[in-house]
Amino acid sequence: MNRKASSILVMIIEILAVLVVGVMITKYAVTIAHSETVTKINLANNLQMMMNTLVATPGDAVVAYPYNASKFNLILSQSSVTVTQPNDLNVEKIIRGFNLPAGYEALGVLEQKDKACLEKKSTRIILRECNTGE
């Protein structure tokens, strides 16, 4: 085999190898992006940010989570928000902490409801199902 033919053959093999690796990485990224763990992490982070926003907001307010949360159980406690699925093991819980100012209270449990709302009344923040139109 001459030198030119072998260099073309090596180039074709390199291109195929790069394409195969690219497809494998893309499939892996899509699998990770569609996993429930990533969704739970995003939901917990969003609820944590919503809590911080409500604490900083003067007066009473209601904030609705804009996405469907029906696959998850949400637990709001005095210092954290927990997101689980109905059959999750303890290690599969996603917990995000926050700090409330003195005198504030946070509570609520929401089990597999489509829409989640955080409602601030004075110094009390409640996790509840959204009413129609919220």
For 95-115, what is each residue's pLDDT tens digit? 999 999 999 999 999 999 999
Query: 12 has which bridge partners?
Result: none
Residue 37's nearest CA partner among 92, 89, 75 is 92
Where do the domains of the chain lie? 1-34, 37-129
| pTM of the shown model | 0.73
Contacts of residue 112, Cβ cutoff 8 Å, sequence gap at least 6: 70, 71, 72, 73, 86
User: Could you read off the pLDDT of 53-97 as tens digits, one per residue?
Assistant: 999 999 999 999 999 999 999 999 999 999 999 887 877 899 999
Check if the beta carbon of residue 91 is closer than 8 Å to that of residue 41. no
pLDDT class of 1 with cuts at 50, 70, 90:
low
